[in-house]
Every structure is written in structure tokens, then in C-alpha cells.
A = this chain, B = another copy of it.
Amino acid sequence: MDVNATIQDLKKQMDDLKQSDEKNQLAMVVFSGDLDKLLAAFIIATGAVAMGLEVVMFFTFWATAALRKKKFKARGKDFFGKMFGFMLPKGVGKVKLSKMNMGGMGTAMMKKLMKKKNIQSLQQMIDLAAELEVKIHICEMSMDLMGFNRDEMIDYPHRDFVGVASFLEVAGNSKIQLFI
């Protein structure tokens, strides 16, 4: 056996293996626009940063509506864009529970209860996520479909507009992946 050559070969294999190893990262698809699921997503995201993970949240479909500004007068939207703009919740203040909404009463009750129990509101969690450098990637295709434009989205500091390829690249290098 040629010891030196074998050792060189082992070294190379080791480097390859390390390269393919996953990063200390969490990738999350946030698909749902419901208050309860958005809360779960941000609790997991901020908790993960506290544990030393990097976090990328990929907002798509209904969830994109929750990232809209509270007040925004869109101009020049076509019929569908106006419809979606009107019918989907305008930002985190307007999202509802997936169950027991009961015409808004259940959602209002849940918000009151969270306050009472000292659990942060969704808005406060987003602010915390921003501070903790959680990345929010927004699916461009979903925005296009629903007629949302970039100016309409909240000014989150670690925000990006991406496609599905970007999510898959992040997910492939992540230790944990979730679809919420």
C-alpha cells in the first residue's frame, strides 16, 4: 500500500464529505395565511435563532398577503389585482385563525388572551425576527398571481424577492425544513 497516496485520497474524501454536510440552518415554507400558523412559524423561527441556527422563511401563496402594509393605495391594478387586494387580509393585523374564527370573535378572543398571557403579538414577533436577522424571502410568482407589487410589502430589513429555485437551494443546505 502506498501510504502517502492513500492518506491524500482520504483527505480529499473527507473534504468532499464536509462540503456536502448541511449548514446549521432552518428553511421554512410559509404557505398559510392564518394567524395561528403564522404565529407558529415565527415562534419556531425566533426560537431557532436563539439556538444558533440561521433561519430563512419563504413566504408563498396566502402567506404573502399577511406581509402587506396596513395602508397602501395601489394604483393601476387590473380587475383581478383589485379583487385580491380587497378580499385578502391586508397585513398581520387582519389575519384570522384557521379554526374557531366565528366571524372574527374567536380571533379577537385569541389576541386578547395572548396579551393577557404575555405572549407577543404577531407584529411584535416580526419585529423580533427582524432584530434577530431572520431572513424573509417572498415568492415572486405568488405576488404576481395575486397582483401585489413590491412597494405594497412591509419594509422588513432582511427581505428578498425570490423564486422556488432559491428556496430549494436554501432547503437543500439546511438541517431542518418545514412546510407550514
B-contacting residues of A (Cβ < 8 Å)? Answer: 1, 3-4, 6-7, 10-11, 13-14, 17-18, 20-22, 24, 26, 29, 31, 33, 36-37, 40, 43-44, 47-48, 50-51, 53, 60-62, 80, 83, 87-88, 99-100, 109-110, 112-114, 116-117, 119, 141, 144-145, 163-165, 167-169, 171-172, 175-180
Q: Are B44 and A178 in contact (CB under 8 A)?
A: no
A10-B14, A44-B168, A51-B172 are known; give 13 further A-B pairs, CB within 8 A.
Answer: A14-B14, A33-B99, A36-B61, A36-B62, A43-B164, A47-B164, A51-B165, A51-B168, A51-B169, A117-B144, A117-B145, A168-B176, A179-B179
